[in-house]
Chains A and B, each alone.
Chain A
């Protein structure tokens, strides 16, 4: 039985206790550090035994939902099974022990994996070259937009400072454009889920640096007029950025470069099944066509005869530069490499096929059960949107209430309230690694919650009921900030 609550690690602390055998022996030479530079008081760290720590953090882990324990249909996040081999083989002792500044002659095996990964990512996406340094999707986006801006600047075209994003874009797209010093221009999406072509025509011009698109879009449908979109943007002098968050849907079916994209980032922690780790680490490799290759962020791994080497500023004087202290999240890259080798070309095609099969099956079953899907006339890509507007109106049970109640049914909630365009929405991404039985169980849970919403709405509104905590007070969390433990403070007040 999993615990319901666990004290803070600090509350186990006893002065003088510790995992002593893990510590080095006391050195017998005095410190050669001037007194005024020395720490006057020890930091607030727990004093616990090794068993105390092991038990505490094991219990904390048991308070989590995870892919290994629960169905996790979180739209846009591609929560598929993370094969154990990927972790085991990326953490072989020699890999873990290798210092990032060790000579490249002592890392040829690592560099070979990275180089082959670059090549495989290019083959999948149709891009000419790839760089693996960006440490997450958002940093890949930053690299991509920075390359687009560098390209315009290199041509002396300083007026192109505007990045177009569709209304339904991931929040990271506009945030990235701002972080790159560009201005953001949002364009609407039509009723059928495709970009509003007339609005796009009106938006492009001499200020257009580029457009950021996800395809399939965040609405869970394929952007059918993508070729036309590319022509419009290119004709206006802009470039196309592909947000690879939804790449899982199209592996082997269509390549971003063939759709007209000039640059792409790939979330290796989504499509290539490296773990999400409770928030990270990820990896946001970027791929580019010939136009942007000179600007790729370093390092880039090249093969010269039988030797692998990573390129520096000296090799690539027009690079947008370095984005990480060393070589990005190498351990994550190795996991993605192992994953791709395990699947091979056939396996990777099966990924998109079964991701689409699962999403469309869920769509058909949920629609058949009376749920309103956002784009009923469209194929689902690898994910689908259900809108609970009717339930919200009739029973005052919101999408968030549904989401929280699903937790009681032992399933992680889908993404809620994103994309913002669809009211009361659940964005559901089952992924290819889930079985038909799991999908059927999800439909059954949704049907059951819909019935509860009619018959006992309070039960749904106050969900979850069976988790370690009940619904949490987010407003209080933001107003009465309690961000660190203070040993002298009393426990938070309990209401009434």
Chain B
């Protein structure tokens, strides 16, 4: 099944028009020495019924466990309308809107999305998306280096409370251009990045400062003090944020020291978890920096007749125009996810999004309260949090997670590989999808698991 409409008669007629005897002749410019002989290793075709059966069984192996894992990807309710509309063929099977007149739907959706993201982050402008939160963070570091040309050191201060995978991706990508990521230690008692830790760098040539709010531990950073430290030294501030949290939290544009580039993972806005992707990275900035921003941007303009319309703009930043001197090599982005997010934000509105955020915050609080009542469980950090928390157990986390998994509970993320200094630490998250009963199920199972092992 190759979805090819040609009849045998079509093929004959077309070959005659071309003036060749066979389809094979169309490949006669390929040197015979390198020609392939068929396609081994692919296997025979399955029909749609057979593939359906195969994929249903593969999907079944994933199950539906009760999950309390967050760590950069969050389970939220997605209204059915979001994907019923985003998956329409007119969105799903269209190309990048280079031919603006034939792509007004996509372009207007991007313009609406840019408006929403800019407002959520408290910035002037946003782009039409990057690949995911981590790659958006890498692009933000590269952009900050372009903004701060006066700095020659390419030293980027990154809190160790920024998502470890984001730091890993940023290292892979930005080290190619010689950026140096220097980690700033977090405070062991509060889980926060302290202004005092930045003071060690007073007087040094620093190219940018990156802060995550809420940070990887779910803890709320003292963003006013951190951003102000950077602002006084004319160091650009990169903010990594969770878009749901921005319904409750002061947006980076309104931090005391402000922010220059705001990035984050867009997945919480109507995008399914799907083992890690496709998600989308968002990026917002000040108007003064817009020409340094990577990625596509839609703008409103007028047509020949003076009617409003939308088009991609500032394309002179991009690879198809600027080639080797572009702001980034990005071409394909995560367009369809942006359409879904724009639908999601429209259905939530300012009130609904605030309720989602407040519900996440409340459920996590309830979860932590329930779990720390269990002997051998304590909260690692004292500082206020959004919708995640680090717990410390009195024994290694991995066997406990395995025990709960056998009861169909994914109890969180073991932090031992990335933060061994935290001891037996576990990162947990409860979003609005978790009920009081779910929390009780988790607490009972954890209590029994710890008790059983103590007894043993």
Contacts and interface: CB of A to CB of B under 8 A. Distances in A.
Given A94-B63, A222-B30, A278 B94 contact: yes
A92 B56 contact: yes
B93 A37 contact: no
Contacts of B358: 26-27, 31
Interface stretch (A119-127, A203-211, A391-399, A449-457): A119-127
Contacts of B322: 171, 175
A275 B86 CA distance: 12
Contacts of A48: 346-347, 349
Contacts, number: 723
Interface in A55-82: 56-70, 72, 74, 77, 79-82
Interface in A412-456: 412-413, 418, 432-436
A74 B95 CA distance: 9
B168 A135 contact: no
A470 B101 contact: yes
Interface string B330-359: 111111111100110111111111111011
Nearest to A22: B79
Contacts of B195: none
Contact of A38 (B11, B249, B297): B249
B452 interface: no
A37 B352 CA distance: 20
Q: Among A37, A48, A80, A330, which residue has the most Cβ atoms of chain B within 10 A?
A: A37
B324 to A, nearest CB: 4
Contacts of A137: 331-332
Q: Among B91, B290, B322, which residue has the most Cβ atoms of chain A within 10 A?
A: B91
The 5 closest A-B pairs by CB, nearest first: A326-B276, A68-B89, A344-B45, A279-B335, A277-B336
Interface in A323-367: 323-332, 334, 338, 340-351, 353-354, 356-358, 360-361, 363-365
Contact of B320 (A27, A102, A149, A418): A418
A114 B310 CA distance: 38
A124 B44 CA distance: 14
A279 B106 contact: yes
Given A138-B319, A327-B276, A89 B5 contact: no
A253 interface: yes
A269 B64 CA distance: 29
A50 B80 CA distance: 10
B51 A22 contact: no
Contacts of B55: 89-90, 92, 113, 334, 338
Contacts of A124: 39, 42
Contacts of A120: 41-43
Nearest to A142: B329
Contacts of B274: 95-96, 98, 330-331
A376 interface: no
A332 B168 CA distance: 23
B311 A477 contact: yes
A295 B335 CA distance: 30
Nearest to A484: B115
Given A100-B73, A102-B65, A323 B135 contact: yes
Given A53-B343, A102-B69, A481 B104 contact: no
Contact of B276 (A47, A56, A328): A328
A279 B333 contact: yes
A135 B338 CA distance: 15
